Amino acid sequence: MVNMERTVSSGASHSSSSQLTELPASQSDTADTSPLVQYDDEDDKNADPLSKVDALQIKFLRLVHRIGQSPGNLVVAQVLYRLQLASMIRAGESDVKRPGLTISKAKAIAVEQEAAGRSTVDFSFKILVLGRTGVGKSATINSIFDEEKAATNAFVPATDNIQEVVGCIKGIKVTVIDTPGLSPAHGNQRRNRELMLAVRRFIRKSPPDIVLYFERLDAINRGYSDYPLLKLITDVFGSSIWFNTILVMTHSSSPPPEGPDGYPLSFETFVHQRTYLVQHYIHQAISNSQLEIPVLLVENHLMCLRNTKGEKVLPNGQVWMSQFLVLCIATKVLGDANSLLKFQDSFQLTPTSTRLPSLPHLLSSLLRIRSSSSSGGFDDEVDELSDNDEDEYDQLPPIRILTKAQFQKLSRAQRNAYLDELDYRETLFLKKQWKEELRSRRERMPPTNDTSVGNDYYENGASQEVVQLSDMTVPPSFDSGCPSYRYRYFLSNDKWLARPVLDPQGWDHDVGFDGINLEAFLDVKKNLQASLVGQVSKDKKEFAIQAESVVKYVEPRGHTLQSGIDIQTAGKDLIYTVHGDARFRNFQFNTTGGGLSMIKFGGVYFIGAKLEDSISVGRRFLLTMNTGRMEGCGQVAYGGGLEATIRGRDYPVRDDKVMLATTVLSLDKELVLGGSIQSDFRVGHGTKMSVSANLNNRRLGQVSVRTSTSEHVEIALIAVFSLVQALFRRRPTDAAG
Amino acid sequence: MAFCGQRLSLGAQIPLSGSARDRRSASAAASASAPIPGHHLKCVLSSAKIPSPKFPTTWTRKKTLATFFSSALASAAGGGFLLHLSTPVPPPGNTGGGGGGGGWGWGGFGGGEGGGFWSQIFAPLAAIAREEDPAGGGGPEWDVHGLPANIIVQLSKLSGFKRYKISEILFFDRRRGTAVAGTEDSFFEMISLHPGGVYTKAQLQKELENLASCGMFEKVDLEGKTKPDGTLALTASFTESTWQSADAFRCINVGLMPQTKQMDMDADMTDREKLEYFRKQEKDYRRRIDRSRPCLLPMPVHREVLQMLREHGRVSARLLQRIRDRVQKWYHDEGYACAQVVNFGNLNTKEVVCEVVEGDITQLVIQFQDKLGNVCEGNTQLAVVRRELPKQLRPGHVFNIEAGKQALRNINSLALFSNIEVNPRPDEKNEGAIIVEIKLKELEQQSAEVSTEWSIVPGRQGRPTLASIQPGGTVSFEHRNIKGLNRSILGSVTSSNLLNPQDDLSFKLEYVHPYVDGVYNPRNRTFRASCFNSRKLSPVFTGGPGVDEVPPVWIDRVGFKANITEAFTRQSKFSYGLVMEEITTRDETSSICTHGARVLPIGGLSMDGPPTTLSGTGIDRMAFAQANITRDNTKFVNGAVVGERDVFQLDQGLGIGSKFPFFNRHQLTLTRFVPLKQVEEAAGKPPPPVLVLHGHYGGCVGDLPSYDAFTLGGPYSVRGYNMGELGACRNILELAAELRIPVRNTHIYAFAEHGNDLGSSKDVKGNPTEFFRRAGHGSSYGVGVKLGLVRAEYAVDHNAGTGAIFFRFGERF
* Residues written for chain A: 737
Share of chain A above pLDDT 90, in %: 5
User: In chain A, which residues have their Cβ closer than 8 Å to the Cβ of B388?
Assistant: none
Size of interface A-B (CB pairs under 8 A): 379
Structural domains in chain A, sorted by start: 46-122+320-345 (no CATH), 124-304 (3.40.50.300), 358-369+487-612 (no CATH)
Residue B555 is predicted with a pLDDT of 92
Closest among A615, A671, A616, A603 to A639, alpha carbons compared: A671
Closest among B440, B425, B445, B338 to B389, alpha carbons compared: B440
Amino acid at B718: V
Is A666 in a helix, a strand, or coil?
A: strand
The reply to whether residue A190 touches residue B798, judged by beta carbons under 8 angstroms, is yes
The reply to whether residue A403 touches residue B801, judged by beta carbons under 8 angstroms, is no
ipTM for this prediction: 0.70
User: In chain B, which residues have their Cβ closer than 8 Å to the Cβ of A470?
Assistant: 64, 409, 412-413, 415
- Please, what sign has the CA dihedral across residues B616, B620, B626, B630? positive
User: In chain A, which residues have their Cβ closer than 8 Å to the Cβ of B464?
Assistant: 695, 699-701
Q: How many CA atoms lie within 13 A of A505 on its CB side?
A: 10
What H or E segment, with its residue span, contains residue A270?
helix A267-286
Asked whether residue B13 carries a pLDDT value surpassing 70, the answer given is no
Q: B269 or A377: whose pLDDT is higher?
A: B269
What H or E segment, with its residue span, contains residue B118?
strand B117-119
**Torsion (CA) A402, A406, A407, A410 in degrees, nearest 10:** -120
Quote the longest CA-to-CA distance of chain B: 124
User: In angstroms, rounded to a whole number, what is the distance separating the alpha carbons of residues B806 and B785?
Assistant: 11
Looking at the complex, report in whole angstroms how far the Cα of residue A113 sits from the nearest Cα belonging to chain B: 48
Phi, psi at residue A519, to the nearest 5°? -135, 135
Phi, psi at residue A364, to the nearest 5°? -65, -30
Q: Calculate mean pLDDT across residues B277-286.
A: 80
What H or E segment, with its residue span, contains residue A86?
helix A74-94
- Please, what sign has the CA dihedral across residues B344, B346, B352, B358? negative
Least CB–CB distance from B537: residue in A469, A482, A506 = A506
Looking at the complex, report in whole angstroms how far the Cα of residue A704 sits from the nearest Cα belonging to chain B: 4
Amino acid at A93: E
Is B576 in a helix, a strand, or coil?
A: strand
Residue A539, Cβ density class (10 Å: 0-12 exposed, 13-18 middle, ≥19 buried): middle
Quote the longest CA-to-CA distance of chain A: 125
Least CB–CB distance from A704: residue in B452, B619, B745 = B452
SS3 content of chain A, % helix, strand, coil (to 5): 35, 30, 40
Residue A459 is predicted with a pLDDT of 37
Top residue of B534, B588, B738, B812 to mutate, by most chain A CBs within 10 Å, is B534
Q: Calculate mean pLDDT across residues B459-487.
A: 83
The answer to whether A272 faces chain B, any CB pair under 8 Å, is no
Least CB–CB distance from A227: residue in B54, B546, B575 = B546
User: In angstroms, rounded to a whole number, what is the distance separating the alpha carbons of residues B565 and B575?
Assistant: 4
The reply to whether residue B479 touches residue A185, judged by beta carbons under 8 angstroms, is no
User: In chain A, which residues have their Cβ closer than 8 Å to the Cβ of B538?
Assistant: 507-508
The reply to whether residue A713 touches residue B479, judged by beta carbons under 8 angstroms, is yes
User: In chain A, which residues have their Cβ closer than 8 Å to the Cβ of B549?
Assistant: 284
- Please, what sign has the CA dihedral across residues B65, B70, B73, B74? positive
The reply to whether residue A463 touches residue B68, judged by beta carbons under 8 angstroms, is yes
Q: How many CA atoms lie within 13 A of A340 on its CB side?
A: 24
* Residues written for chain B: 813
Q: Calculate mean pLDDT across residues B769-775.
A: 86
User: In angstroms, rounded to a whole number, what is the distance separating the alpha carbons of residues B46 and B40?
Assistant: 19
User: In angstroms, rounded to a whole number, what is the distance separating the alpha carbons of residues B736 and A478?
Assistant: 26
Rg (CA), chain B: 37
Query: What pairs with residue B672 in β-bridges?
Result: B644, B693
Q: B456 or A152: whose pLDDT is higher?
A: B456
The reply to whether residue B491 touches residue A486, judged by beta carbons under 8 angstroms, is no
Mean pLDDT check: name the lowest of B307-311, B313-317, B773-777: B313-317
Contact between B339 and B328 (Cβ < 8 Å): yes
pLDDT per position as a tens digit, B377-405: 888 999 999 988 888 888 888 888 888 88
User: In angstroms, rounded to a whole number, what is the distance separating the alpha carbons of residues B561 and B566?
Assistant: 16
Contact between A581 and A604 (Cβ < 8 Å): no
Concatenating the DSSP letter of every residue in B266-289 gives -TT--HHHHHHHHHHHHHHHHHHH
Residue B119 is predicted with a pLDDT of 32
Least CB–CB distance from B601: residue in A280, A491, A505 = A280
Amino acid at B377: E
Concatenating the DSSP letter of every residue in A472-509 gives PP----SSS--GGGGG--EE---SEEEEEEE-TT-BTT
Residue B709 is predicted with a pLDDT of 92
The answer to whether A447 faces chain B, any CB pair under 8 Å, is no
User: In angstroms, rounded to a whole number, what is the distance separating the alpha carbons of residues A556 and A583?
Assistant: 13
Phi, psi at residue B718, to the nearest 5°? -125, 110
Q: Which ranges in B298-363 belong to alpha helices (H)? A: 299-312, 317-333
Q: Which ranges in A368-444 belong to alpha helices (H)? A: 392-395, 404-409, 412-443
Asked whether residue B787 carries a pLDDT value surpassing 50, the answer given is yes
pLDDT per position as a tens digit, B592-622: 888 888 876 666 677 788 899 988 898 999 9
Closest among A69, A67, A68, A71 to A79, alpha carbons compared: A71
Residue B729 is predicted with a pLDDT of 93
pLDDT per position as a tens digit, A244-299: 888 888 887 777 777 667 777 788 888 888 888 888 878 877 777 777 788 888 88
Query: What pairs with residue B743 in β-bridges?
Result: B746
Residue B622 is predicted with a pLDDT of 92
Residue B466 is predicted with a pLDDT of 73
What H or E segment, with its residue span, contains residue A322?
helix A320-341
Share of chain B above pLDDT 90, in %: 23
Kindly give the parts of chain A with pLDDT less than 70: 1-47, 92-101, 117-121, 154, 156, 185-187, 219-225, 259-260, 342-356, 369-392, 443-470, 491-494, 731-737
The answer to whether A499 faces chain B, any CB pair under 8 Å, is yes
Looking at the complex, report in whole angstroms how far the Cα of residue B509 sits from the nearest Cα belonging to chain A: 10
The answer to whether A521 faces chain B, any CB pair under 8 Å, is no
User: In chain B, which residues have their Cβ closer than 8 Å to the Cβ of A283?
Assistant: none
User: In angstroms, rounded to a whole number, what is the distance separating the alpha carbons of residues A484 and A137?
Assistant: 55
Residue of A nearest to B478 (CA): A713
Closest among B796, B756, B762 to B776, alpha carbons compared: B756
* A201 Cα distance to chain centroid: 28
User: In chain B, which residues have their Cβ closer than 8 Å to the Cβ of A698?
Assistant: 458
Top residue of A188, A494, A508, A538 to mutate, by most chain B CBs within 10 Å, is A508
Closest among A397, A248, A398, A353 to A602, alpha carbons compared: A353
Mean pLDDT estimate for chain B: 76
